[in-house]
Structure 1
Amino acid sequence: MTVTSTRPGSSTAPAADAPKATAARYLWRSGDFTALATGQAASVAGSAVSAVAIPLTAVTVLDASVGQTALLAACQQLPPLVVSLPAGALIDRMRRRPVMIGSDLVSAAATASIPAAAAVDWLTMWWLYTAALVVGTMRVTSRAATLAYLATLLEPSRLMDGTSQMVRAAGVAQLGGSTLAGVLIGVFGAARTILLDAASYLVSAACTARIRTPEPPPAPRVPGSTVRREVCAGLRYVRRDPIGWPVLSTNAITCGVVAGQQAVLALYLIRGLGWDGTTVGLILAASGAGGVLGAVLAPGCERRFGPARTMIAALLIAPLSQVPLILSGPGLAGQITIALALATESAAAAVGGLTQQTVRMAVCAPAMHGRMHTVGQLLCAGPAPVAALLAGAVATTLGLRATLILCAVLLLAPPVRLAASPLRRLHRLPEPARHGHDGDHGPSPASARGRRPALTARGAEQR
């Protein structure tokens, strides 16, 4: 592979005044970016296969009960709630690329152990629980390290385009993996199919290992600092950040409401509208296609309307897209309408999510990237189980349609929250934050504020 760099100062770095329409071409010409994006897409495709194959292995090979399959799902969702904060502090102590490679290798070993154990009749539900916990933990560290590493691999002006290209590739890989899973399971069986996921982690590790752009060393640790103090420093940093905190808190509200909606959506489509499982599967697949479309549209929306307007508009589309879902009937017209509504909601979520992720990477001090991203994972994952339980209780009491109506109303809260914050005056991506330290507490948002655009001068921020 020809290795090129997209960092400033490289002879092959894209020119700052290059046409925006050619941004993707410049990125994919970079061997390092191509390696990173390819590895991540391979990992996503493999995980999509395992998302189907592991539960089926539990049911078909181990004859798992409903309670056991629920516990397996809980093991897959638990790591972001438990390890996010310490993982972020540890990631900020290290170079990110070795963390990414190590996480992939551990995940490959844990995933490959499932079909290996099944082949010699050693597989048990406890084996699956353990593998799910290990892979889930590695996913937390790998995702945070990857986002932090991307901010060092690309120029600040290329972060939005780079993130968009990676999400687009991952979305296609997700759809392909989900489709391929059914075919492979039918041919090889559920347990053997999991080997594809193990292989995908090895591909991801190999791609990451081929990256040659030098990674800057981590920020020097404050003498006497501990993981606990660094976790607390990260929480203080995020809470005091005038841009990062509104973004993350808004995202937490959105994730909670969407988790509640998703908990009852399939049941509503099957029992409320009388659709069969195949129809529901096709309808929900439209959501994934919408996400890919949103990844394509995100950079252009951010450049045309600015980060604040893009994020607020994307959040406003979410409650509006619930109206067809609530009012449509069970016929073919209703199926088409709901599929379009879900695709629109997913596209808007991708546009808003990519924009807020790029803003977070731009404003965060390099020494805090790991903690910023893991706090975001925690805030997104934390409300989900509680919201799902509450949605189930409301649906039992008031009915499925009433629960969806309540979720639609609650989805008005995120755009209101963002519009009421200083972020509403952010009309261009801020310049990247620099290192700044606040005693033993790590980088302070205030230390980097001089590097950001003023949030009080609307006219100065217009393009």
Structure 2
Amino acid sequence: MRTYKDVFAVPEFRVLFAGQTGAVAGGTMTMLALSTLVFAHTGSPFLAAVAYLAGFLPQVLGALTIGALADRLPPRPVMAGWEVVRAATLVLIASGALPVWGMLAVVMVVGFVESPIRAAGLALVADLLPGNGYVLGRSVLNMAVGAMQIAGYGVAGLLLAAIGPKAALLAAAGMALAVGGIYRFGLRARAPRSTGERVRSGTRALLGDRAVRGLLLAQWVPNGLIVGAEALFVPFAGASAGVLFMAAAGGMLAGDAVVGRWTSPSSRLRLAVPLYVLLAVPYLMFAFSPGVWVAAGLVAVASFGFAGHLGTQERYLEAVPEQLRGQALGLAGSGMQTGQALAATLTGTVAEAVAVNWTIVLAAAGSLVATALLWRTLTARLDVVRSHVPDLR
């Protein structure tokens, strides 16, 4: 597969694309509505922030403990059924029957269980799009995530202004039901990827290998610290923060389009370190407190560097045994989201004592240090990485 047209020629990928874009839009609406609802109940900015991140925080724990379910359960009924469960939890939260702590607990339980479910979807992408097709498919999905986040924030904002957060939660529940229907009637039935007893030791095998740990850290740390910098856009730019968020989304979309479509595996290997460096360097200019439009230009250029993760994900997918593919992708994705949430918490804490623009600079500097420490992992040849990873078959 060499073009996006080739990717979309696969019928089941079109189904996954529709389902995942709908899920992202609904998830974005949920995060904003829940944060608004909790703030309305408590008046606490801290609890509002916790509500916004609550679904991300337990995901890596879910990947570590029940991640093997991504490979041991049939994907279609699991993915479709989970959207029905998610819709029911959103209706419960919107009903007003739960106290604030109950809302947060439900969201965290959902985040914990959701990890292997999302991993099953990512593994299905790899099954449907072998070889270079996987990078093209992930590139398309990443671009869709950015677009649907913008759309989700826009729709949720309109609903919040017009009829309140409970209506936004109910709209997100309706979206989840629609996504469940897309999966149920659009995907064909498949057997579990693996039912072997040895798969139970998959997480231990993945984390116990130095090469795989390095590839996981390369997906979690440099990018996560930059997301922590993005978490400070509101205190940095105030009412103009939306300009910075749109610039970040635009830069990320451009990077995924260019690198995903017009590079080969070997060139993505060579581009990994330069793109990771590009991701951080423009943020160092925040030391000079740039105006919002200059800052937006810096953010757009930096966000192009997020495309460096495409090559890292490709090497990671090639490195792990096929029967652990779902579990491995779930661990990578869940760790990334949890890392971003923790990085945002860290930068927010630092910004209580250090000027916001200098906190952004510190996050960028930390990302550069992480990239330097991971240089060998980011430049290792695929055959070298694969030779280190145990095959559990």
Classify the TM-score, shorter chain: 0.7 to 0.9
In structure 1, C-alpha distance between the alignment counterparts of 2:42 and 2:354, rounded to whole Å: 35
Aligned counterparts, 1:12-161, within 5 A:
20=2, 23-60=3-40, 62-66=41-45, 68-73=47-52, 75-115=54-94, 117-118=95-96, 122-161=97-136
TM-score by length of 2: 0.87
Whichever residue aligns with residue 300 of structure 1, its letter is R
- Checking the alignment, whether the CA contact within 8 Å between 1:57 and 1:191 is kept in structure 2 is yes
Indicate the SS of the match to 1:420. helix
- Checking the alignment, whether the CA contact within 8 Å between 1:100 and 1:205 is kept in structure 2 is yes
Residue 277 of structure 2 corresponds to residue 308 of structure 1: no
In structure 1, C-alpha distance between the alignment counterparts of 2:279 and 2:332, rounded to whole Å: 20
Residue 320 of structure 2 corresponds to residue 345 of structure 1: no
The Cα of 1:339 is off from its aligned counterpart by 0.4
Q: What are the Cα deviations for residues 24-80 of structure 1, in whole angstroms up to 9, with x where unaligned?
A: 1122232211111001101111112122212222233x3553454355345333321
Structure 1: stretches of 5+ with no match in the other structure: 1-15, 271-276, 437-443, 449-463
- Checking the alignment, whether the CA contact within 8 Å between 2:255 and 2:305 is kept in structure 1 is yes
Indicate the residue corresponding to 1:250 in structure 2. Answer: 218
- Checking the alignment, whether the CA contact within 8 Å between 1:87 and 1:141 is kept in structure 2 is yes
In structure 2, C-alpha distance between the alignment counterparts of 1:67 and 1:92, rounded to whole Å: 37
Q: What are the Cα deviations for residues 322-381 of structure 1, in whole angstroms up to 9, with x where unaligned?
A: 13322243xxxx2222101112222211x1223322332233222212331233245435
Cα distance change of structure 1 residues 96 and 86 upon mapping to structure 2, 3 Å threshold: farther
Indicate the SS of the match to 2:190. coil
Cα distance change of structure 1 residues 113 and 326 upon mapping to structure 2, 3 Å threshold: same
Residue 163 of structure 2 corresponds to residue 188 of structure 1: yes
More displaced 10-residue stretch of structure 1: 75-84 or 140-149: 75-84
In structure 2, C-alpha distance between the alignment counterparts of 1:396 and 1:52, rounded to whole Å: 23
Aligned counterparts, 1:266-345, within 5 A:
266-267=234-235, 269-270=236-237, 277-303=238-264, 306-329=267-290, 334-345=291-302
From 221, 237, 248, give the equivalent of 2:206: 237
Q: What are the Cα deviations for residues 287-341 of structure 1, in whole angstroms up to 9, with x where unaligned?
A: 1222222221222353186232222121010221113322243xxxx22221011
The Cα of 1:83 is off from its aligned counterpart by 1.8
Q: What are the Cα deviations for residues 403-461 of structure 1, in whole angstroms up to 9, with x where unaligned?
A: 3333232222233234323x5143xx77x98xx9xxxxxxx82449xxxxxxxxxxxxx
In structure 2, C-alpha distance between the alignment counterparts of 1:146 and 1:314, rounded to whole Å: 27
In structure 1, C-alpha distance between the alignment counterparts of 2:184 and 2:341, rounded to whole Å: 36
Q: Which has the higher contact order (CA 8 A, sep 6+)?
A: 2
Cα distance change of structure 1 residues 193 and 29 upon mapping to structure 2, 3 Å threshold: same
Count of matched residue pairs: 392
In structure 2, C-alpha distance between the alignment counterparts of 1:233 and 1:155, rounded to whole Å: 22
In structure 2, C-alpha distance between the alignment counterparts of 1:425 and 1:357, rounded to whole Å: 13
In structure 2, C-alpha distance between the alignment counterparts of 1:151 and 1:221, rounded to whole Å: 20
- Checking the alignment, whether the CA contact within 8 Å between 2:265 and 2:311 is kept in structure 1 is no
Indicate the residue corresponding to 1:412 in structure 2. Answer: 368
Cα distance change of structure 1 residues 425 and 356 upon mapping to structure 2, 3 Å threshold: closer
The Cα of 1:279 is off from its aligned counterpart by 1.0
Whichever residue aligns with residue 220 of structure 2, its letter is A
In structure 2, C-alpha distance between the alignment counterparts of 1:287 and 1:403, rounded to whole Å: 18
Q: What are the Cα deviations for residues 215-260 of structure 1, in whole angstroms up to 9, with x where unaligned?
A: 35422423xx6xxx82x54232344263x33221222322553354
Cα distance change of structure 1 residues 387 and 95 upon mapping to structure 2, 3 Å threshold: same
Q: CA RMSD of the aligned region, Å?
A: 3.1
Aligned-pair identity in percent equals 22
In structure 2, C-alpha distance between the alignment counterparts of 1:307 and 1:341, rounded to whole Å: 23
**Computing the radius of gyration over CA atoms, which structure comes out larger, 1 or 2?**
1
In structure 2, C-alpha distance between the alignment counterparts of 1:394 and 1:66, rounded to whole Å: 16
Whichever residue aligns with residue 302 of structure 1, its letter is T
In structure 1, C-alpha distance between the alignment counterparts of 2:100 and 2:265, rounded to whole Å: 51
In structure 2, C-alpha distance between the alignment counterparts of 1:168 and 1:203, rounded to whole Å: 21
Indicate the SS of the match to 1:105. helix
Indicate the residue corresponding to 1:365 in structure 2. Answer: 321
In structure 2, C-alpha distance between the alignment counterparts of 1:388 and 1:157, rounded to whole Å: 33
Residue 379 of structure 2 corresponds to residue 424 of structure 1: yes
In structure 1, C-alpha distance between the alignment counterparts of 2:50 and 2:357, rounded to whole Å: 28
In structure 2, C-alpha distance between the alignment counterparts of 1:185 and 1:402, rounded to whole Å: 33
Q: What are the Cα deviations for residues 146-203 of structure 1, in whole angstroms up to 9, with x where unaligned?
A: 1112111222231111111122222211111111211122222221121121122122
In structure 2, C-alpha distance between the alignment counterparts of 1:398 and 1:193, rounded to whole Å: 35
Indicate the residue corresponding to 1:455 in structure 2. Answer: none
Q: Indicate the structure with greater helix content.
A: 2
The Cα of 1:104 is off from its aligned counterpart by 1.4
In structure 2, C-alpha distance between the alignment counterparts of 1:192 and 1:258, rounded to whole Å: 33
Cα distance change of structure 1 residues 248 and 266 upon mapping to structure 2, 3 Å threshold: same
Cα distance change of structure 1 residues 102 and 394 upon mapping to structure 2, 3 Å threshold: same
In structure 2, C-alpha distance between the alignment counterparts of 1:387 and 1:160, rounded to whole Å: 26
More displaced 10-residue stretch of structure 1: 39-48 or 370-379: 370-379
